[in-house]
Amino acid sequence: MEEKKSTKIIEVNHLSKSYGSVQAVKDISFYVEPGKLFAFLGPNGAGKSTTINAICTFLKPDKGEVLVNGYKLGKQDGEIRDSIGVVFQESLLDGLLTVEENLKIRGSFYDLKGKELKEAVKKACEVTEMDSFLKRPYGKLSGGQRRRADIARALLHTPKILFLDEPTTGLDPQTRRNVWDTIKKLQKEQGMTVFLTTHYMEEAEDADYCVVVDHGMVAAAGTPLDLKEKYAKDKLRLICRSREEQKKLEELLAKEKIGFAKKGEQLEVDLQTTMEALPVLKLAEPFLEGFTVAKGSMDDVFLGITGKEIRE
Ligand code: ADP
């Protein structure tokens, strides 16, 4: 396949899609740069799957223009499908067959045969580190092992872009981290462009760029750092010498009209900038045993953008 160089490997312009009267995606525009880890974030029902399914040629949009690897959606869908690997929420693998058998069958769908097929399976297994369970039936694997097998399946035809629709949903935190490490490795070591959707905001910390959608629209976009600067407030946590001292400090803060929240044994003050901690600390110093200034998390970002928790 001819390689097309561009700073945008995916371009989505004014994409819209309705299901009957439900407007799932409303005029969404964004782009993805090659080799990046791109996170498409939003709560359940925000329109993430609809967008990803449209980009991947599985769903016809009502409006909008989409370019993937230089190919135009609706005109060059075959070329788009050759350029992408997709990990669906539902696996495509057969539970009764071993991982290896599954991958060989899937590889043959891409017209891979003989040595070429063997090599493709070997390479996909290497990057996903599946040696220890290659000969086991897919149905007998743990959730995390299955996910890695699903990812390997999507890599057989050496796509340029890997799409993962909520790859870690339903996995326990430890397994989520393992799967996440595999994804990051693919991007860092293989230079793969990774497009993923997730409703775990903390996973987006590792992304190069995030687009946050809510109600089918782009609510915010930027690097995790940009988003945190803009939407998540820093927090100053004050630890007092004793309960009595804390009580005195609470009164003083109230008198000075400095907003605070009680968090267990600590008082928490929202800051617009880190530097805002200084005058508060000066005031609080006589009562303090210690303090911390914490950067906002990506969960705070989501709260800042939408006014609600992502898993509400
Ligand atoms: P997300 O992936 O962010 O959870 P979806 O794209 O699945 O969001 O859904 C966006 C909206 O479209 C939701 O209101 C959902 O109920 C609706 N929707 C999604 N798929 C269909 C469908 N096949 N038929 C009708 N409504 C749908």
Question: Strand ranges (DSSP E) for 101-233?
Answer: 161-165, 193-198, 209-214, 217-222
Q: How many CB atoms lie within 10 A of CB 151?
A: 22
46 CA distance to ligand 1 centroid (A)? 7
State residue 138's pLDDT score.
96
Ligand 1 atom nearest the C-alpha of 25 is 10
State residue 96's pLDDT score.
96
73 CA distance to ligand 1 centroid (A)? 21
Residue 160 contacts residue 193 (beta carbons within 8 Å): yes
User: Closest by alpha carbon to 70, among 15, 6, 161?
Assistant: 6
Ligand 1 neighbourhood includes 49 CB (under 6 angstroms): yes
Q: How far apart are CA 26 and CA 269, in angstroms?
A: 37
Question: Strand ranges (DSSP E) for 6-139?
Answer: 10-19, 22-32, 37-41, 63-68, 71-72, 84-87
Ligand 1 neighbourhood includes 182 CB (under 6 angstroms): no
Evaluated on CA atoms 182, 187, 190, 192, the torsion sign reads positive
Ligand 1 neighbourhood includes 53 CB (under 6 angstroms): no
Residue 136 contacts residue 116 (beta carbons within 8 Å): no
Phi, psi of 274 (to 5 degrees): -60, -35
Ligand 1 neighbourhood includes 24 CB (under 6 angstroms): yes
SS3 content of the chain, % helix, strand, coil (to 5): 40, 30, 30
Ligand 1 neighbourhood includes 45 CB (under 6 angstroms): yes
Find where tokens 């929240």 sit.
261
State residue 133's pLDDT score.
94
Ligand 1 atom nearest the C-alpha of 49 is 2
Ligand 1 neighbourhood includes 19 CB (under 6 angstroms): yes
User: Closest by alpha carbon to 99, among 52, 71, 74, 132?
Assistant: 132
List the structure tokens of 185: 């490795």
pLDDT truncated to tens, each residue of the chain (312 aa)? 555 556 999 999 999 999 999 999 999 999 999 999 999 998 889 999 999 999 999 999 999 999 999 999 999 999 999 999 999 888 899 999 999 999 999 999 888 889 999 999 999 999 898 989 999 999 999 999 999 999 999 999 999 999 999 888 888 888 888 888 889 988 998 899 999 998 888 888 889 999 999 999 999 999 998 998 888 888 999 999 999 999 999 999 999 999 999 988 899 998 888 899 999 999 999 999 999 998 888 888 888 887 766 655
Q: What is the largest CA-CA distance in the chain?
A: 79
State residue 265's pLDDT score.
86
Beta bridge partners of 22: 19
Question: Strand ranges (DSSP E) for the chain?
Answer: 10-19, 22-32, 37-41, 63-68, 71-72, 84-87, 161-165, 193-198, 209-214, 217-222, 234-240, 261-263, 266-271, 288-294
